[in-house]
Amino acid sequence: MEILKFVPYIFLFVSLSSANSVVDFCVADFNFPDTSAGFSCRNPANLTVDDFVFSGLGVAADPLTNIFRVSVTSAFDLTFPAHIGLGLSMSRLDIGVGGVVPIHSHRVSELILVIEGEILAGFIDSNDQAYYKTLTKGDITIFPQSLLHFQINVGKTPALAFVSLNSASPNFQTTTTSLFANDLPTDVIEKITLLDVVQAKKLKRIFGGSN
Amino acid sequence: MEILKFVPYIFLFVSLSSANSVVDFCVADFNFPDTSAGFSCRNPANLTVDDFVFSGLGVAADPLTNIFRVSVTSAFDLTFPAHIGLGLSMSRLDIGVGGVVPIHSHRVSELILVIEGEILAGFIDSNDQAYYKTLTKGDITIFPQSLLHFQINVGKTPALAFVSLNSASPNFQTTTTSLFANDLPTDVIEKITLLDVVQAKKLKRIFGGSN
Amino acid sequence: MEILKFVPYIFLFVSLSSANSVVDFCVADFNFPDTSAGFSCRNPANLTVDDFVFSGLGVAADPLTNIFRVSVTSAFDLTFPAHIGLGLSMSRLDIGVGGVVPIHSHRVSELILVIEGEILAGFIDSNDQAYYKTLTKGDITIFPQSLLHFQINVGKTPALAFVSLNSASPNFQTTTTSLFANDLPTDVIEKITLLDVVQAKKLKRIFGGSN
Amino acid sequence: MEILKFVPYIFLFVSLSSANSVVDFCVADFNFPDTSAGFSCRNPANLTVDDFVFSGLGVAADPLTNIFRVSVTSAFDLTFPAHIGLGLSMSRLDIGVGGVVPIHSHRVSELILVIEGEILAGFIDSNDQAYYKTLTKGDITIFPQSLLHFQINVGKTPALAFVSLNSASPNFQTTTTSLFANDLPTDVIEKITLLDVVQAKKLKRIFGGSN
Amino acid sequence: MEILKFVPYIFLFVSLSSANSVVDFCVADFNFPDTSAGFSCRNPANLTVDDFVFSGLGVAADPLTNIFRVSVTSAFDLTFPAHIGLGLSMSRLDIGVGGVVPIHSHRVSELILVIEGEILAGFIDSNDQAYYKTLTKGDITIFPQSLLHFQINVGKTPALAFVSLNSASPNFQTTTTSLFANDLPTDVIEKITLLDVVQAKKLKRIFGGSN
Amino acid sequence: MEILKFVPYIFLFVSLSSANSVVDFCVADFNFPDTSAGFSCRNPANLTVDDFVFSGLGVAADPLTNIFRVSVTSAFDLTFPAHIGLGLSMSRLDIGVGGVVPIHSHRVSELILVIEGEILAGFIDSNDQAYYKTLTKGDITIFPQSLLHFQINVGKTPALAFVSLNSASPNFQTTTTSLFANDLPTDVIEKITLLDVVQAKKLKRIFGGSN
């Protein structure tokens, strides 16, 4: 009996070696343009296990150097291309005492896990109902896709949390920088938010907006 | 030759009459609970063409009775259940002189068509880049899913526009009412937006928020 | 306190500038081949607001120069690439008195809004049930994806309507041109439709078919 | 060492027994209404292997009793509920000599495999390009979703083929019965197809239409 | 000026209160049957923030009581219904020294984050290429959907990790229990795996299989 | 009356000829890299009907030359690029007497149709419940996506079956070759499967694995 001539499958093993990443995985090749549905993929034959491991989430970034006292270290499409197309990414949050992840949203859902400290986490639904609670070690909560949400370190020590999102390209939109870090005219901001001009100008100064 | 005994198809016509709405369409039956993926459907045998026609978008609502001088009349899941599951809805916007659709977002994309007047329409992408321009009769623009956007009547006459969204359940989230029309504490708002307390309290009064 | 060193986010702003269009939007770059899932995208850094505005729907095309007395002006993938991947497109219909949008279908759903005139609009479901009604100003109806549908100007004046579809690439298939505007042999047409040969040949002459 | 106390997994085995069909499979329970996204599922605990086997495709139906000399025997949602939600269905086609599957379309793609005989199979794309060829034993071709297509037995013996579609609810729309098997008025048909009234009335008589 | 009569939106706030969960979120109501596309949803009006928080991941389960020396504590559809339909779930893994998460797969992708200890993590792609590496604190790796993967504690202390999956209903399939914990006959197992009968019977004894 | 100047549509016919494949179909062009969402498409203008027909499933391959006595002939992405993006593929199975399709899984669902012989077909769900039955001519069964399944020729003659899968890129993962045809160390295999070392080494020899 010939035991090694498993011909059809062996044929598959060989012929698929450069093309089957479409289903299994796609490690992005940034030399090609991205498309409306994703990135071009590297040849699987050139990949090693190191392409699938990201080691940057073990060390705390210093959250004290910005106004919100928060550091976000992200393994997403550009920094961890192995998970592109697989519908997952992860970020490490270091929030200093009194620090804040300001109100923001993104197209995909998010799950937060608290490892250390006390974090007030909340989201607002499309009926304007606010859901918020202080989470401690081992607690998780969910922020449904596209809804505004936030986190505040309300404890007396630095807080550490990990968030998982169900896209490799979550594209955060932070409300304050969306309004105040660009050239949107102050009178437009006033009209679309009902904020006072003085307030809007103050925030433009903080975030570097013009006009 | 028997010409009417097209048996297999005739069998299909009959047996499918109560169940094939899954693919063709689903006119929601609000007597049943909704599911994570949609609504229960009415029996197609009980439907008439009137279930597929919505006649409420021909008349201007009065946009002068609210603070934003805007009226939004919507044909969406609850008011026009015929298009549930079909991935489309439509709203009529009447914007008084100086009126505004305040900054908001939703999970799905939106296309706006200006019929009368001059509307400054804009959106902000996740890099904080603002794209805005004054549209006139016959112009359309697109607001990509989940991104903040707004419209302002910058002309000297009332403006009329129609917007189309690619879901029957778009679930608008208006930034100002999300922040100021509920019980989110003022000190939380201050932290997550960097707004001054006085400003936040003023907006809470306008939108009916507590705390 | 340092207020401008919002390091992690500023890092994101910069590094994402050429690649984050995957989620936000994709303005097609027709210099690259399209893929089974969409088009290649232009670099967002080179876009302006004008790439997101289409101004061609304000003027009536002349609907009297063709046999159906109808003009269709479309903002879809090739004419308005900004909305590619966002799941929406729009067309303007000008239908002369007695004019017709002949029976057709497409993979995606369509919503029609009547602005002027009287339009008999209808669709047929997969049980062969026909739903049709005369619509007037401000009425909308829905044509579920993939089902045959049509519009007829049944009024005494030209009619104007806008249709919205939930894809930037709707790919219309008009039944009559599918059958009679190509080389499909007349005897094949006879068999698959039960039309008489004389009738089929007459329609081939109208639509330019051969064989 | 305790080898049988694999506690966490055993817990999973038990607690999931009534609810995990959402991902694995869903054998429809027709006692509940269907929803915009599918059917209610039977309790997996009450299923046996026979719920997953359909035995009706082995016997030829008589294709001579209808005008098209074709029989279609289908394993789809209503006749084979086990594959609901799994994105596949299958039909057996028996086509008599000279028999025809008339021109039709459906929302999903179809793959046809010829087992016996000679079948002229074709489809027309949205540019009105017709693709058609005679297939023999062992040939397959594809009909892309939503496009018009047909099959004709052009051989001298009965033909047998199997078709696979990527939905359990394909919802066929046959062009001729859509137009002529209901109450769509003859003058409407004339306008939307350019068919002569005499021809339309003849086809209405064949398919049982009124008006 | 009337500032509180923001009529259209206020109308929306009220009328949507029982039905808009379709888009925002769906906290499952297990009193209704599940469907091919998900669960029925509880009325949002009856929800509180506690429905969105899961507190069970902070405490280590004892991983020594089973043969693999592993404990899996999961926040998924049945234990944390708030995230149903949102495409995310999370589990805590406690792996004793020498402990193992045996080889398994699931329909969705998984991301693992190591918090403590040394974990050899690996997956095998559909070309039979194995990717495996020892991960330490702060490392993450990805297991692409549907592919076989495993984790082994290769360190000298207990290991702790959290995994995130992009479905609330991941439905694990562990290879060994699939083969040996049911009534699949030993001779069938022998044929489909090429395992020796003696080996198969030994594993059936371990996992409680019959036949 | 001018009958041939159907201007708007004729415009569409021409301008769309190189780009509309996005919706209709995509015949892969392997000269370009694949993306996370699929392949680049050939220009439709260069296609003929032969690009849509695959003729390789009519002839039995010899199933006796490998250890499982099975031949799998597949029309999938690389061998039949016309159906890429259309969500369907088909394979022919020739199983010798006593032959086996060993236990395997893939991301997509599969439907099997028996043409000749007796095939014991089965799958195991994520609760470890095994469903298996002997199928004969004309029987079909379904293997839900991602679940382990197998086929054995239990009859006295060669068996023939066709399987349809709802992806052009199904990416089979055969359990035995995943474990034993690569460099996964034997002690790792022992731990993650509980197989004896002697057994694992025997299988490595059969399938050509190292370590």
CA distance D187 to chain C (A): 11
pLDDT average, residue stretch E26-35: 76
From the list B61, B72, B206, which residue is nearest E3 (CB)? B206
**What percent of chain D lies above the pLDDT cut of 90?**
64
- For residue A129, pLDDT beyond 70: yes
Q: How many CB atoms lie within 10 A of CB E14?
A: 9
DSSP B179: H
Predicted confidence band of residue F181 (pLDDT cuts 50, 70, 90): very high
A150 to chain B: which residues are within 8 Å by CB?
A: 188, 192
CA distances from B83 to B44, C103, C166, E4 (A): 14, 20, 12, 32
E37 to chain D: which residues are within 8 Å by CB?
A: 22, 35, 37-38, 85
Q: What is the pLDDT of residues D7-17, one digit of tens each?
A: 333 333 222 22
Mean pLDDT of chain E: 85
Neighbouring subunits of F (3+ Cβ pairs under 8 A): A, C, D, E
pLDDT for res E169:
84
Sheet bearing C119-124, strands edge to edge? C130-135, C119-124, C149-153, C100-105, C173-174
No. of H helices and E strands in chain B? 5, 11
Residue B83 labelled as part of a binding site: no
CA distance F83 to chain E (A): 21
CB neighbour class for D14 (10 Å; exposed up to 12, middle 13-18, buried from 19): exposed
Q: Chain D: which residues have CB within 8 Å of chain B?
A: 30, 33-39, 61, 65-68, 70-74, 77-78, 107, 167, 169-172, 174, 177, 206, 208
Predicted confidence band of residue C81 (pLDDT cuts 50, 70, 90): confident
Q: Report the distance separating Cα E6 and Cα A9, nearest Å.
A: 66
Q: Which of B36, B69, B180 to mutate to test the interface with E (most CBs of E within 10 A)?
A: B36
Neighbouring subunits of D (3+ Cβ pairs under 8 A): B, C, E, F
pLDDT for res D80:
87
**What percent of chain F lies above the pLDDT cut of 70?**
86
Neighbouring subunits of C (3+ Cβ pairs under 8 A): A, B, D, F
Q: Do F122 and E188 touch (CB under 8 A)?
A: yes
CA distances from D101 to B15, D175, F101 (A): 20, 11, 35
Annotated binding site of E for oxalate: 106, 110
Residue A180, both tokens = 């105040």
pTM, entire model = 0.90
Residue C83 labelled as part of a binding site: no
Q: How far apart are the first and last CA of chain D?
A: 82
Q: Report the distance separating Cα B174 and Cα B100, nearest Å.
A: 12
Q: Do C77 and F37 touch (CB under 8 A)?
A: no
Q: Do F33 and A41 touch (CB under 8 A)?
A: yes
Q: Do B54 and C140 touch (CB under 8 A)?
A: yes
pLDDT average, residue stretch B180-187: 96
Q: Do A138 and E109 touch (CB under 8 A)?
A: no
Q: Report the distance separating Cα B64 and Cα E1, nearest Å.
A: 9
- For residue E25, pLDDT beyond 90: no
Predicted confidence band of residue D61 (pLDDT cuts 50, 70, 90): confident
Q: Which residue has the higher pLDDT, B85 or F66?
A: F66
Residue of E nearest to A58 (CA): E138
- For residue A85, pLDDT beyond 80: no
Cross-strand pairs, F40: C35
Mean pLDDT of chain D: 85
User: Would you call A55 helix, strand, or coil by DSSP?
Assistant: coil
pLDDT for res C37:
63
Highest mean pLDDT among A2-6, D40-44, D154-158, F106-110: D154-158
Q: Chain E: which residues have CB within 8 Å of chain B?
A: 1-9, 12, 15-16, 19-24, 26, 28-29, 32, 35, 37-41, 43, 84-85
CA distance F81 to chain D (A): 11
pLDDT for res C130:
96
Lowest mean pLDDT among B138-147, C55-64, F172-181: C55-64
pLDDT average, residue stretch A160-175: 92
Predicted confidence band of residue A37 (pLDDT cuts 50, 70, 90): low
From the list B172, B191, B203, which residue is nearest A100 (CB)? B191
Q: What is the pLDDT of residues C111-166, one digit of tens each?
A: 999 999 999 999 999 999 999 999 999 999 999 999 999 999 999 999 999 999 99
pLDDT for res C16:
28
F115 to chain D: which residues are within 8 Å by CB?
A: 115
pLDDT for res B4:
29
Q: Do B173 and A122 touch (CB under 8 A)?
A: no
**What percent of chain E lies above the pLDDT cut of 90?**
64
pLDDT for res F77:
82
Residue D83 labelled as part of a binding site: no
Q: Which residue has the higher pLDDT, A26 or E8?
A: A26
pLDDT for res D36:
66
- For residue E121, pLDDT beyond 90: yes
Q: Do F41 and C38 touch (CB under 8 A)?
A: no
Q: Report the residue count for chain F.
A: 211
Q: Report the distance separating Cα F36 and Cα A37, nearest Å.
A: 7
- For residue F61, pLDDT beyond 50: yes
Q: How many CB atoms lie within 10 A of CB E205?
A: 12
Domains of chain C: 67-77+87-172 (2.60.120.10), 177-207 (no CATH)
Q: Do A152 and B177 touch (CB under 8 A)?
A: no
Residue of F nearest to A5 (CA): F66
Helical (H) or strand (E) element with C73 = strand C70-75
pLDDT for res A82:
82
Predicted confidence band of residue F26 (pLDDT cuts 50, 70, 90): confident
pLDDT for res C135:
98
pLDDT average, residue stretch E108-135: 96
pLDDT for res A76:
86
Sign of CA dihedral E123, E59, E80, A96: negative
Lowest mean pLDDT among C60-64, D41-45, D98-102: C60-64
**What percent of chain F lies above the pLDDT cut of 90?**
64
Lowest mean pLDDT among A20-29, D133-142, E11-20, F64-73: E11-20
User: Would you call F193 helix, strand, or coil by DSSP?
Assistant: helix
pLDDT for res B87:
87
Q: Do E37 and B34 touch (CB under 8 A)?
A: no
Give the residue carrying structure tokens 């089902």.
Answer: C147
Q: What is the pLDDT of residues E82-106, one digit of tens each?
A: 877 788 999 999 999 999 999 999 9
| Alpha helix (H) residue ranges in chain D | 7-15, 21-24, 175-180, 186-193, 197-207
pLDDT average, residue stretch E124-145: 96
CA distance F168 to chain C (A): 11
Q: Chain F: which residues have CB within 8 Å of chain C?
A: 1-9, 12, 15-16, 19-24, 26, 28-29, 32, 35, 37-41, 43, 84-85
C135 to chain B: which residues are within 8 Å by CB?
A: 53
Predicted confidence band of residue B167 (pLDDT cuts 50, 70, 90): confident
Q: Which residue has the higher pLDDT, D41 or F67?
A: F67
Lowest mean pLDDT among C58-62, C159-163, D107-111: C58-62
- For residue A96, pLDDT beyond 50: yes
Residue of E nearest to F190 (CA): E102
Q: Do B40 and D33 touch (CB under 8 A)?
A: yes
Q: Which of D69, D128, D142, D154 to mutate to test the interface with C (most CBs of C within 10 A)?
A: D128
Highest mean pLDDT among A25-34, E54-63, F121-130: F121-130
Q: Report the distance separating Cα D66 and Cα B60, nearest Å.
A: 55
Q: What is the pLDDT of residues B41-73, one digit of tens each?
A: 888 888 999 999 999 899 887 887 889 999 999
pLDDT for res D37:
63
Residue of C nearest to B194 (CA): C3
Q: Which of B1, B2, B7, B9 to mutate to test the interface with D (most CBs of D within 10 A)?
A: B9
pLDDT for res D5:
31
Q: Do A193 and B175 touch (CB under 8 A)?
A: yes
- For residue C177, pLDDT beyond 80: yes
User: Does the interface predicted TM-score (ipTM) exceed 0.90?
Assistant: no
Predicted confidence band of residue F10 (pLDDT cuts 50, 70, 90): very low
- For residue D32, pLDDT beyond 50: yes
Residue A93, both tokens = 């949050």
B146 to chain A: which residues are within 8 Å by CB?
A: 105-107, 145-146, 171, 173
Identify whether the C-beta of residue F123 lies closer than 8 Å to the C-beta of residue F173: no
- For residue D67, pLDDT beyond 70: yes
Q: What is the pLDDT of residues F95-112, one digit of tens each?
A: 999 999 999 999 999 999
Q: What is the pLDDT of residues D162-201, one digit of tens each?
A: 999 998 888 899 999 999 999 999 999 999 999 999 999 9
Identify whether the C-beta of residue C89 lies closer than 8 Å to the C-beta of residue B164: no
